Amino acid sequence: MMLLMPLLFIKHIWGEGKIQPVFAVKNINAGYGDVVIVHDVSIYVNEGEIVAVVGPNGSGKSTLLKSILGFARLFQGKVVYCGEDITGIASDRAVSMGIGYVPQVNNVFPNLTISENLDMGAYHRKGRASIKAGIREIFEMFPELEVRKNALAGNLSGGERQMLAIARAMMAQPKVLLLDEPLASLSPKPVSVILSKLGKIKETGTAIIIVEQNVRKALSVSSRGYVLVEGTCAMEGEASSLFAEESSKQRFLGLEAKGIDTDLASRHN
């Protein structure tokens, strides 16, 4: 039996204040122009937790993230961060408050070196000593970047660029990290490396919301997942049991049983 938590129950808990997730979006309607793409979606993430938002292409996953920071139109809903309503917040203000965002593309400065990109990510830090300390911490977590710290970002491989984009966001010391398709177009080896980095970031207490089409990989590092289909939340629950039933794969993602490995239970044990 699938371990799913009804949306109404979650909303009730939020309303009563019994659960205070570090970040939550409630009843979001979002889109572009006058077109609503995301319909009444609610998600939350706790401190030190990874939550995946998965679904078919065009299901509204990226639009949901973009609406949080004003890159897509928010028609309705509420965004709550550390118990504070920040709905409609400007993206630079969100970063200064502790919300990191890594878009799928154009997420590094290609004409700057790795070190210079990290400096750019630290513009909210005060004092050069703090910036240097932050870079040391990043290089401890991403030694692959330290080796090439003087290389231009534009000369990096796809996996290295994604690592740099995540590292640059971490320079702002976020409490919440929003990742839009960080595994897109990557080969298996860099995918595994990036997922291991997310695990290390989680251990620091940072909450992570990962929007991803690579369902198996995203759920393998997540504690919970949400499935978006045609802009609505079709299903949610524990990552290890979200697609335990073959019918769920086919109904919500159009996946054939032979086409994807969703045996996630063993990966969470």
CATH topology of domain 7-268: Rossmann fold (3.40.50)
DSSP string, 214-242: -HHHHHHT-SEEEEEETTEEEEEEEGGGT
Helices (H), the chain: 7-16, 61-68, 91-97, 114-121, 128-141, 143-147, 158-170, 188-203, 215-220, 246-248
Q: Is the pLDDT of residue 249 over 80?
A: no
Q: Say how far apart CA 211 and CA 227 lie, in whole Å.
A: 10
Position 252 scores a pLDDT of 58
Q: Give the pLDDT band of residue 66 (cuts 50, 70, 90).
A: very high
Q: Give the pLDDT band of residue 1 (cuts 50, 70, 90).
A: very low
3-state SS, residue 23: strand
Q: Say how far apart CA 44 and CA 216 lie, in whole Å.
A: 20
Q: Edge-to-edge, what's the strand order for the sheet holding 176-180?
A: 99-102, 176-180, 207-212, 50-54, 224-229, 232-238
Where are the domains positioned within the chain?
Answer: 7-268
* 99-139 tens-digit pLDDT: 999 999 999 999 999 999 999 998 877 788 888 999 999 99
Q: Which position has the token pair 């291991």?
A: 196
Q: Is the pLDDT of residue 71 over 60?
A: yes
* 3-62 tens-digit pLDDT: 344 344 344 444 444 568 999 999 999 999 999 999 999 999 999 999 999 988 889 999
Position 127 scores a pLDDT of 80
Position 264 scores a pLDDT of 43
Under DSSP, the state recorded for 253 is: I
Q: Is the pLDDT of residue 208 over 90?
A: yes
Q: Say how far apart CA 191 and CA 157 lie, in whole Å.
A: 12
Position 221 scores a pLDDT of 96
Mean of the per-residue pLDDT values of the chain: 86
3-state SS, residue 191: helix
85 Cβ contact partners less than 8 Å away, ≥ 6 residues apart: 78, 79
Position 246 scores a pLDDT of 58
Q: Give the pLDDT band of residue 253 (cuts 50, 70, 90).
A: low
Higher pLDDT, 241 or 36: 36
Higher pLDDT, 1 or 198: 198
Q: Supply angle C-alpha 57, 200, 191, rounded to 5.
A: 40
- Report, as an integer, the average pLDDT of 211-223: 93
Q: Is the pLDDT of residue 83 over 80?
A: yes
Under DSSP, the state recorded for 152 is: B
232 Cβ contact partners less than 8 Å away, ≥ 6 residues apart: 39, 40, 41
Q: Which position has the token pair 């949306």?
A: 7
177 Cβ contact partners less than 8 Å away, ≥ 6 residues apart: 100, 101, 102, 166, 169, 170, 201, 206, 207, 208, 209
* 149-165 tens-digit pLDDT: 999 999 999 999 999 99
